[in-house]
Structure 1
Amino acid sequence: MVRIDEFTTEASAIDGLYVVRMKQIHDERGTVREFFRASAMRDAGLTDGPWEQLNLTETSRGAVRGLHGEAMTKFVSVVKGSVFGAYVDARPGSPTVGAVVTVPIEVGVQVLVPRGVLNGFQSTSDGVSQYLYCFDTEWRPGMPGCAVNPLDPALGITWPIEIDIDDRAQISAKDAAAPTFAETLASLTNA
Protein backbone atom coordinates (compact mmCIF):
# COMPACT_ATOMS: atom_id res chain seq x y z
CA MET A 1 0.00 0.00 0.00
CA VAL A 2 1.34 3.43 -0.98
CA ARG A 3 1.06 6.45 1.33
CA ILE A 4 2.06 9.95 0.25
CA ASP A 5 2.95 12.77 2.63
CA GLU A 6 2.65 16.01 0.67
CA PHE A 7 5.00 19.01 0.84
CA THR A 8 4.08 21.47 3.62
CA THR A 9 5.56 24.60 5.15
CA GLU A 10 4.98 26.20 8.52
CA ALA A 11 5.97 29.77 9.41
CA SER A 12 7.65 30.31 12.77
CA ALA A 13 7.97 33.13 15.30
CA ILE A 14 11.12 34.29 13.44
CA ASP A 15 10.49 36.30 10.30
CA GLY A 16 11.61 34.20 7.31
CA LEU A 17 12.32 30.99 9.27
CA TYR A 18 10.18 28.08 8.05
CA VAL A 19 9.78 24.44 9.02
CA VAL A 20 9.48 22.45 5.79
CA ARG A 21 8.29 18.91 5.29
CA MET A 22 9.13 17.67 1.83
CA LYS A 23 7.06 15.15 -0.11
CA GLN A 24 7.53 11.54 0.97
CA ILE A 25 6.22 8.37 -0.66
CA HIS A 26 6.00 5.28 1.55
CA ASP A 27 5.38 1.70 0.43
CA GLU A 28 6.27 -1.80 1.54
CA ARG A 29 9.91 -1.33 0.47
CA GLY A 30 10.47 1.86 2.48
CA THR A 31 10.38 5.56 1.72
CA VAL A 32 11.37 7.88 -1.11
CA ARG A 33 11.89 11.30 0.40
CA GLU A 34 12.52 14.51 -1.49
CA PHE A 35 15.17 16.49 0.31
CA PHE A 36 14.80 19.55 -1.90
CA ARG A 37 12.64 20.49 -4.88
CA ALA A 38 13.17 23.99 -6.29
CA SER A 39 9.69 24.27 -7.81
CA ALA A 40 7.94 23.34 -4.54
CA MET A 41 9.98 25.89 -2.61
CA ARG A 42 9.39 28.55 -5.27
CA ASP A 43 5.63 27.84 -5.36
CA ALA A 44 5.54 28.27 -1.55
CA GLY A 45 7.28 31.65 -1.87
CA LEU A 46 10.51 30.35 -0.32
CA THR A 47 14.04 30.48 -1.64
CA ASP A 48 14.90 27.87 -4.20
CA GLY A 49 18.65 28.17 -3.73
CA PRO A 50 20.83 27.82 -5.59
CA TRP A 51 22.83 25.94 -2.99
CA GLU A 52 26.57 26.49 -3.41
CA GLN A 53 27.91 24.36 -0.56
CA LEU A 54 26.65 21.32 1.37
CA ASN A 55 28.16 20.23 4.71
CA LEU A 56 27.37 17.10 6.69
CA THR A 57 28.26 16.78 10.36
CA GLU A 58 28.24 13.66 12.48
CA THR A 59 27.48 14.58 16.06
CA SER A 60 27.36 12.35 19.13
CA ARG A 61 24.37 12.22 21.46
CA GLY A 62 24.20 15.26 23.76
CA ALA A 63 26.73 17.35 21.83
CA VAL A 64 25.81 20.91 20.84
CA ARG A 65 26.94 22.82 17.74
CA GLY A 66 26.26 26.56 17.48
CA LEU A 67 24.67 29.10 17.80
CA HIS A 68 26.14 30.62 14.62
CA GLY A 69 24.74 33.15 12.17
CA GLU A 70 26.60 33.81 8.96
CA ALA A 71 25.75 35.98 5.96
CA MET A 72 24.14 33.03 4.18
CA THR A 73 20.76 31.36 3.94
CA LYS A 74 20.79 27.78 5.19
CA PHE A 75 18.50 24.83 4.54
CA VAL A 76 19.13 22.25 7.27
CA SER A 77 17.93 18.81 8.28
CA VAL A 78 19.12 15.41 9.40
CA VAL A 79 19.77 12.48 7.10
CA LYS A 80 20.22 10.15 10.06
CA GLY A 81 19.05 10.38 13.64
CA SER A 82 17.43 13.35 15.32
CA VAL A 83 18.40 16.72 16.73
CA PHE A 84 16.91 19.56 18.75
CA GLY A 85 17.32 22.63 16.54
CA ALA A 86 17.57 26.13 18.06
CA TYR A 87 17.30 29.38 16.11
CA VAL A 88 17.68 32.98 17.30
CA ASP A 89 16.95 36.11 15.27
CA ALA A 90 20.13 38.23 15.55
CA ARG A 91 19.25 40.68 12.76
CA PRO A 92 19.15 44.17 14.32
CA GLY A 93 16.54 45.52 11.86
CA SER A 94 14.29 42.46 11.92
CA PRO A 95 10.74 42.74 13.28
CA THR A 96 11.42 39.53 15.25
CA VAL A 97 14.92 40.35 16.56
CA GLY A 98 15.55 38.34 19.75
CA ALA A 99 12.92 35.71 18.99
CA VAL A 100 13.94 32.12 19.78
CA VAL A 101 12.47 29.10 18.01
CA THR A 102 13.23 25.45 18.76
CA VAL A 103 12.33 22.60 16.43
CA PRO A 104 12.71 18.86 17.00
CA ILE A 105 14.19 17.67 13.72
CA GLU A 106 13.98 14.12 12.46
CA VAL A 107 14.39 12.70 8.98
CA GLY A 108 11.82 14.43 6.74
CA VAL A 109 11.77 17.73 8.65
CA GLN A 110 13.86 20.62 7.32
CA VAL A 111 14.32 24.23 8.45
CA LEU A 112 14.93 27.19 6.15
CA VAL A 113 17.16 29.60 8.12
CA PRO A 114 17.46 33.16 6.75
CA ARG A 115 20.73 35.12 6.65
CA GLY A 116 21.74 36.39 10.08
CA VAL A 117 19.52 34.03 12.07
CA LEU A 118 21.60 31.96 14.49
CA ASN A 119 21.53 28.22 13.90
CA GLY A 120 22.44 25.55 16.46
CA PHE A 121 21.46 22.07 17.47
CA GLN A 122 21.93 19.29 20.00
CA SER A 123 22.10 15.68 18.85
CA THR A 124 19.35 13.67 20.55
CA SER A 125 20.00 10.37 18.74
CA ASP A 126 21.41 7.25 20.25
CA GLY A 127 24.82 7.03 18.58
CA VAL A 128 25.29 9.88 16.13
CA SER A 129 23.11 12.22 14.13
CA GLN A 130 24.03 13.38 10.65
CA TYR A 131 23.04 17.03 10.15
CA LEU A 132 23.05 18.39 6.60
CA TYR A 133 23.57 22.10 5.87
CA CYS A 134 22.85 23.57 2.43
CA PHE A 135 24.33 27.07 2.01
CA ASP A 136 23.45 29.63 -0.67
CA THR A 137 26.98 31.06 -0.38
CA GLU A 138 30.24 29.23 0.08
CA TRP A 139 31.70 29.59 3.58
CA ARG A 140 35.01 31.43 3.69
CA PRO A 141 37.26 32.53 6.55
CA GLY A 142 36.43 36.03 7.76
CA MET A 143 32.96 36.16 6.22
CA PRO A 144 30.43 38.34 8.09
CA GLY A 145 28.65 36.57 10.90
CA CYS A 146 28.38 36.12 14.62
CA ALA A 147 28.18 33.50 17.33
CA VAL A 148 26.34 33.38 20.64
CA ASN A 149 26.91 31.12 23.61
CA PRO A 150 24.24 28.40 23.27
CA LEU A 151 24.00 28.24 27.08
CA ASP A 152 23.15 31.96 27.48
CA PRO A 153 20.34 31.81 30.08
CA ALA A 154 18.69 34.94 28.63
CA LEU A 155 17.76 32.91 25.53
CA GLY A 156 15.69 30.49 27.59
CA ILE A 157 16.67 27.45 25.52
CA THR A 158 16.05 24.23 27.42
CA TRP A 159 18.42 21.76 25.80
CA PRO A 160 16.92 18.26 26.14
CA ILE A 161 20.18 16.69 27.35
CA GLU A 162 22.13 18.37 30.15
CA ILE A 163 25.38 19.98 28.96
CA ASP A 164 28.62 19.99 30.95
CA ILE A 165 30.34 23.24 29.88
CA ASP A 166 33.76 21.70 30.59
CA ASP A 167 33.18 18.59 28.45
CA ARG A 168 34.60 19.26 24.95
CA ALA A 169 32.69 16.23 23.64
CA GLN A 170 29.51 18.19 24.41
CA ILE A 171 30.44 21.79 23.57
CA SER A 172 33.46 23.29 21.83
CA ALA A 173 35.72 25.75 23.65
CA LYS A 174 34.80 28.34 21.00
CA ASP A 175 31.04 27.96 21.56
CA ALA A 176 31.42 27.89 25.35
CA ALA A 177 33.41 31.16 25.21
CA ALA A 178 31.08 32.90 22.74
CA PRO A 179 29.44 36.12 23.93
CA THR A 180 25.89 36.38 25.22
CA PHE A 181 23.09 37.36 22.89
CA ALA A 182 22.92 40.85 24.43
CA GLU A 183 26.65 41.37 23.85
CA THR A 184 26.43 40.12 20.27
CA LEU A 185 23.37 42.24 19.45
CA ALA A 186 25.05 45.34 20.91
CA SER A 187 28.13 44.77 18.73
CA LEU A 188 25.95 44.25 15.63
CA THR A 189 23.89 47.37 16.35
CA ASN A 190 27.02 49.50 16.88
CA ALA A 191 28.81 48.16 13.79
Structure 2
Amino acid sequence: MNAQPRLVVDRRRLRPPEATASAGPQEVHQTAIAGLVALRVRQTADARGTVREFFRASTLAGAGLATGPWKQVNVTSSNRGVIRGLHSEPVTKLAAVLAGKVMGAYVDIRPTSPTRGAVVTLTLGVDDQVLIPPGVCQGFQAISQEPAQYMYLMDEEWRPGLPGVGIHPLDPALAIRWPLPVTPGDTSLLSAKDASQAPLADSYP
Protein backbone atom coordinates (compact mmCIF):
# COMPACT_ATOMS: atom_id res chain seq x y z
CA MET A 1 0.00 0.00 0.00
CA ASN A 2 1.09 3.60 -0.50
CA ALA A 3 2.93 5.68 2.08
CA GLN A 4 0.14 7.52 3.85
CA PRO A 5 -3.64 7.41 3.36
CA ARG A 6 -5.30 10.60 2.22
CA LEU A 7 -7.12 12.13 5.18
CA VAL A 8 -10.53 13.66 4.53
CA VAL A 9 -12.58 14.46 7.60
CA ASP A 10 -16.38 14.70 7.25
CA ARG A 11 -18.10 15.74 10.47
CA ARG A 12 -21.84 15.83 10.08
CA ARG A 13 -24.85 16.34 12.32
CA LEU A 14 -27.93 15.06 10.58
CA ARG A 15 -30.94 17.36 10.28
CA PRO A 16 -33.29 17.07 13.28
CA PRO A 17 -36.55 15.21 12.59
CA GLU A 18 -39.55 17.26 11.57
CA ALA A 19 -41.69 18.45 14.49
CA THR A 20 -44.84 17.01 12.86
CA ALA A 21 -46.90 13.86 13.17
CA SER A 22 -44.94 12.21 10.34
CA ALA A 23 -41.33 12.77 9.33
CA GLY A 24 -42.01 11.60 5.78
CA PRO A 25 -40.05 9.01 3.82
CA GLN A 26 -36.72 7.63 4.96
CA GLU A 27 -33.84 9.95 4.03
CA VAL A 28 -30.62 8.67 2.44
CA HIS A 29 -27.39 10.69 2.54
CA GLN A 30 -24.07 9.70 0.95
CA THR A 31 -21.03 10.60 3.07
CA ALA A 32 -17.41 11.36 2.15
CA ILE A 33 -16.65 7.61 2.28
CA ALA A 34 -17.76 5.66 -0.79
CA GLY A 35 -20.61 3.33 0.18
CA LEU A 36 -20.97 4.70 3.73
CA VAL A 37 -24.53 5.99 3.83
CA ALA A 38 -26.34 7.88 6.60
CA LEU A 39 -30.05 7.21 6.93
CA ARG A 40 -32.81 9.00 8.81
CA VAL A 41 -35.68 6.68 9.56
CA ARG A 42 -39.33 7.36 8.84
CA GLN A 43 -41.40 7.91 11.94
CA THR A 44 -44.91 8.76 13.06
CA ALA A 45 -45.91 10.15 16.44
CA ASP A 46 -49.06 10.73 18.43
CA ALA A 47 -50.01 11.24 22.07
CA ARG A 48 -48.98 7.67 22.91
CA GLY A 49 -45.41 8.02 21.59
CA THR A 50 -43.51 7.23 18.41
CA VAL A 51 -43.33 4.43 15.84
CA ARG A 52 -40.12 4.28 13.81
CA GLU A 53 -39.79 2.31 10.61
CA PHE A 54 -36.50 0.62 11.37
CA PHE A 55 -35.98 -1.20 8.08
CA ARG A 56 -37.61 -1.18 4.66
CA ALA A 57 -35.79 -3.20 2.01
CA SER A 58 -37.38 -1.33 -0.91
CA THR A 59 -36.01 2.02 0.30
CA LEU A 60 -32.43 0.76 0.39
CA ALA A 61 -32.82 -1.22 -2.82
CA GLY A 62 -34.24 1.83 -4.57
CA ALA A 63 -31.10 3.75 -3.62
CA GLY A 64 -28.89 0.92 -4.87
CA LEU A 65 -27.88 -0.12 -1.33
CA ALA A 66 -27.45 -3.48 0.38
CA THR A 67 -30.62 -4.88 1.94
CA GLY A 68 -29.28 -7.97 3.73
CA PRO A 69 -30.38 -10.62 4.40
CA TRP A 70 -29.09 -9.91 7.91
CA LYS A 71 -27.65 -13.01 9.59
CA GLN A 72 -26.54 -11.66 12.99
CA VAL A 73 -27.63 -8.77 15.20
CA ASN A 74 -25.46 -7.40 18.02
CA VAL A 75 -26.48 -4.81 20.63
CA THR A 76 -24.00 -3.02 22.87
CA SER A 77 -24.84 -0.91 25.93
CA SER A 78 -22.17 1.68 26.73
CA ASN A 79 -21.86 4.15 29.57
CA ARG A 80 -21.22 7.83 28.91
CA GLY A 81 -17.71 8.41 27.53
CA VAL A 82 -17.04 4.80 26.49
CA ILE A 83 -15.30 4.36 23.12
CA ARG A 84 -15.67 1.11 21.17
CA GLY A 85 -13.57 0.47 18.05
CA LEU A 86 -12.19 1.10 15.57
CA HIS A 87 -12.90 -2.32 13.97
CA SER A 88 -13.37 -3.61 10.45
CA GLU A 89 -14.49 -6.95 9.02
CA PRO A 90 -15.44 -8.11 5.49
CA VAL A 91 -19.10 -7.71 6.42
CA THR A 92 -21.83 -5.20 5.51
CA LYS A 93 -23.40 -3.68 8.62
CA LEU A 94 -26.51 -1.62 9.28
CA ALA A 95 -25.91 0.28 12.54
CA ALA A 96 -28.47 2.16 14.60
CA VAL A 97 -28.91 3.71 18.03
CA LEU A 98 -31.73 2.21 20.09
CA ALA A 99 -31.34 4.48 23.12
CA GLY A 100 -29.20 7.48 24.00
CA LYS A 101 -26.81 9.16 21.62
CA VAL A 102 -23.38 8.38 20.18
CA MET A 103 -20.78 9.94 17.94
CA GLY A 104 -19.93 7.37 15.29
CA ALA A 105 -16.51 7.38 13.62
CA TYR A 106 -15.73 5.61 10.34
CA VAL A 107 -12.39 5.20 8.56
CA ASP A 108 -11.94 3.94 5.00
CA ILE A 109 -8.94 1.57 4.96
CA ARG A 110 -9.88 -0.31 1.77
CA PRO A 111 -6.79 -0.42 -0.46
CA THR A 112 -8.70 0.07 -3.75
CA SER A 113 -11.33 2.52 -2.52
CA PRO A 114 -11.52 5.93 -4.24
CA THR A 115 -11.97 7.45 -0.76
CA ARG A 116 -9.22 5.48 0.99
CA GLY A 117 -8.04 7.38 4.06
CA ALA A 118 -11.26 9.34 4.51
CA VAL A 119 -12.62 9.76 8.03
CA VAL A 120 -16.29 10.47 8.73
CA THR A 121 -17.90 11.29 12.08
CA LEU A 122 -21.65 11.41 12.61
CA THR A 123 -23.72 12.34 15.65
CA LEU A 124 -26.36 9.62 15.88
CA GLY A 125 -29.58 9.43 17.86
CA VAL A 126 -32.51 7.05 17.77
CA ASP A 127 -33.69 8.46 14.43
CA ASP A 128 -30.41 7.69 12.64
CA GLN A 129 -28.82 4.69 10.96
CA VAL A 130 -25.56 4.08 9.09
CA LEU A 131 -24.96 1.52 6.34
CA ILE A 132 -21.30 0.46 6.62
CA PRO A 133 -19.65 -1.31 3.68
CA PRO A 134 -17.18 -4.17 4.16
CA GLY A 135 -13.65 -3.03 5.00
CA VAL A 136 -14.62 0.31 6.57
CA CYS A 137 -13.62 0.64 10.23
CA GLN A 138 -16.35 1.64 12.63
CA GLY A 139 -16.31 2.88 16.19
CA PHE A 140 -18.32 5.15 18.43
CA GLN A 141 -18.36 7.05 21.69
CA ALA A 142 -21.43 7.11 23.96
CA ILE A 143 -22.23 10.78 24.62
CA SER A 144 -25.67 10.71 26.28
CA GLN A 145 -26.12 10.90 30.03
CA GLU A 146 -27.88 7.55 30.02
CA PRO A 147 -26.21 4.40 28.59
CA ALA A 148 -26.28 4.33 24.79
CA GLN A 149 -27.51 1.21 23.03
CA TYR A 150 -25.85 0.73 19.64
CA MET A 151 -27.13 -2.08 17.42
CA TYR A 152 -25.65 -3.43 14.22
CA LEU A 153 -27.03 -5.97 11.79
CA MET A 154 -24.53 -8.03 9.80
CA ASP A 155 -24.95 -9.90 6.51
CA GLU A 156 -22.50 -12.57 7.71
CA GLU A 157 -22.20 -14.29 11.05
CA TRP A 158 -19.09 -13.68 13.12
CA ARG A 159 -16.95 -16.81 13.44
CA PRO A 160 -13.51 -17.58 14.84
CA GLY A 161 -10.91 -16.73 12.23
CA LEU A 162 -13.06 -14.15 10.43
CA PRO A 163 -10.59 -11.63 8.99
CA GLY A 164 -10.64 -8.29 10.73
CA VAL A 165 -8.47 -5.33 11.59
CA GLY A 166 -8.35 -2.72 14.32
CA ILE A 167 -7.06 0.85 14.42
CA HIS A 168 -6.28 2.77 17.61
CA PRO A 169 -9.25 5.13 18.11
CA LEU A 170 -7.05 7.84 19.67
CA ASP A 171 -4.53 7.91 16.80
CA PRO A 172 -3.84 11.65 16.29
CA ALA A 173 -3.40 11.14 12.54
CA LEU A 174 -7.12 10.35 12.25
CA ALA A 175 -8.05 13.78 13.65
CA ILE A 176 -11.17 12.33 15.29
CA ARG A 177 -12.57 14.84 17.78
CA TRP A 178 -14.08 12.57 20.39
CA PRO A 179 -16.57 14.72 22.33
CA LEU A 180 -15.53 13.39 25.77
CA PRO A 181 -11.92 12.97 26.96
CA VAL A 182 -10.47 9.46 27.24
CA THR A 183 -6.99 8.28 28.22
CA PRO A 184 -5.62 5.00 26.83
CA GLY A 185 -5.07 3.53 30.29
CA ASP A 186 -8.64 4.05 31.48
CA THR A 187 -10.17 0.61 30.88
CA SER A 188 -13.57 1.81 32.13
CA LEU A 189 -13.83 3.88 28.92
CA LEU A 190 -11.51 2.10 26.45
CA SER A 191 -10.86 -1.64 26.50
CA ALA A 192 -7.30 -2.94 26.77
CA LYS A 193 -7.80 -4.62 23.39
CA ASP A 194 -8.79 -1.40 21.63
CA ALA A 195 -6.03 0.56 23.40
CA SER A 196 -3.47 -1.98 22.13
CA GLN A 197 -4.31 -1.47 18.46
CA ALA A 198 -1.67 0.12 16.25
CA PRO A 199 -2.10 3.56 14.68
CA LEU A 200 -3.16 3.76 11.06
CA ALA A 201 0.32 4.53 9.69
CA ASP A 202 1.80 1.43 11.37
CA SER A 203 -1.01 -0.82 10.21
CA TYR A 204 -1.12 0.50 6.63
CA PRO A 205 2.30 2.01 5.79
Fold-level similarity (TM above 0.5): yes
Contact 1:92 1:185 (C-alpha < 8 Å) held by counterparts? no
Say which SS state the counterpart of residue 157 (structure 1) adopts. coil
**Which residue number in structure 2 is paired with residue 189 of structure 1?**
none
2:103 corresponding residue in structure 1: 84
Q: Counterpart amino acid of 1:11? A: Q
Which residue number corresponds to residue 167 of structure 2?
148
Write the distance in 2 (CA, Å) between the matches of 1:121 and 1:99. 16
2:120 is aligned with 1:96: no
Report how far residue 143 of structure 1 moved: 0.7
Residue of structure 2 aligned with 1:124, choices 143, 151, 155: 143
Matched with 1:172 is 191
Counterpart CA distance in 2 for 1:27 and 1:67 is 38
Supply the distance in 2 between the matched residues of 1:94 and 1:118 (Cα, whole angstroms): 13
Counterpart of 2:50? 31
Which AA in structure 2 matches 1:148? I
Give the deviation of 1:121 after TM superposition. 0.2
User: Which residue of 180, 183, 190 corresponds with 1:161?
Assistant: 180
Matching residue of 1:72 = 91
What amino acid does structure 2 have at the position aligned with 1:22? Answer: V
TM-score (norm 2): 0.88
* Kept after mapping to 2: 8 A contact 1:59/1:129: yes
- Residues matched between the structures, number: 186
**Separation (CA, whole Å) in 1 of partners of 2:63 and 2:147:** 32
Matched with 2:59 is 40
Segments ≥4 residues shifted beyond 4 Å: none
> Which ranges in structure 2 are unaligned for 5 or more consecutive residues?
1-19
Partner of 2:14: none
* 2:33 alignment partner, one of 14, 21, 36: 14
* TM-score for the superposition, normalised by structure 1: 0.94
* Separation in structure 2 between the aligned mates of residue 38 and residue 184 of structure 1, nearest angstrom: 36
Q: CA RMSD in A?
A: 1.1
Distance 2:139 2:57 in 1: 25
Partner residue of 1:63?
A: 82
**Do structure 1's residue 50 and structure 2's residue 74 form an aligned pair?**
no
What percent of counterpart residues are identical?
Answer: 49
Which residue type is aligned with residue 82 of structure 2? Answer: A
Distance 1:134 1:116 in 2: 15
Question: Conserved in 1, the CA contact under 8 Å of 2:92 and 2:133?
Answer: yes
Contact 1:5 1:24 in 2 (8 A): yes
- Pick the aligned partner of 1:114 from 133, 138, 149: 133
